Amino acid sequence: MTKQINARRLALGAAGLALALAAWAVWPGKTTVSAATEVVIPLLGPEAQQGAALYTANCAACHGENGLGVEGAGPPFLHKIYEPSHHGDGAFYVAALQGVRAHHWPYGDMPPVEGITEADVAAILLYVRALQQANGIF
């Protein structure tokens, strides 16, 4: 009886895993934006320009130049998942300052960004939101 229950659990677990993998394979939000994608770069005020420099220094290695993401490293910010109605400003502060567990993407957990301040995140957020708005993610 125990062998039957274990075999059934194994079969159900395998079926569940197969279903999850199939769903992930067809989910349109799983990949980064193509590197060939043209990004509209908006005119930036002084604070957003500072945010662009901070983004390049602290975020671009994983989230890509101009928020396009880096395959295998980090998701794109120019994606509907990161629009303010889904990931509000507070989510950026928490992610940068405290780190977050993986929840939308297969990149793994994001550790806190070493040495970054709330003021830095505010400037980076101005830049990211300006990019998003200029590219229809707002």
The per-residue pLDDT for range 56-110, each reduced to its tens digit, is 999 999 999 999 999 999 999 999 999 999 999 999 999 999 999 998 888 999 9
Partners of 128 in the β-ladder? none
What SS3 string covers the chain? CHHHHHHHHHHHHHHHHHHHHHHHHHCHHHCCCCCCCCCCCCCCCHHHHHHHHHHHHHCHHHHCHHHCCECCCECCCCCHHHCCCCCCHHHHHHHHHHCECCCCCCCCCECCCCCCCHHHHHHHHHHHHHHHHHCCCC
Q: Is the pTM of this model over 0.75?
A: no
Specify the pLDDT at position 7: 52
Query: Quick one: residue 30, left, alpha or beta (phi over 0 = left, psi -120 to 50 = alpha)?
Result: alpha
At the topology level, CATH places domain 46-134 in: Cytochrome Bc1 Complex; Chain D, domain 2 (1.10.760)
**In this predicted model, what pLDDT tens digit does every residue of 7-39 receive, in sequence order?**
555 444 444 433 333 333 333 333 334 444 789
Q: Are 78 and 39 in contact (CB under 8 A)?
A: yes
Specify the pLDDT at position 80: 93
Specify the pLDDT at position 104: 86
Among 21-35, 40-54, 67-81, 114-128, the minimum mean pLDDT is found in: 21-35
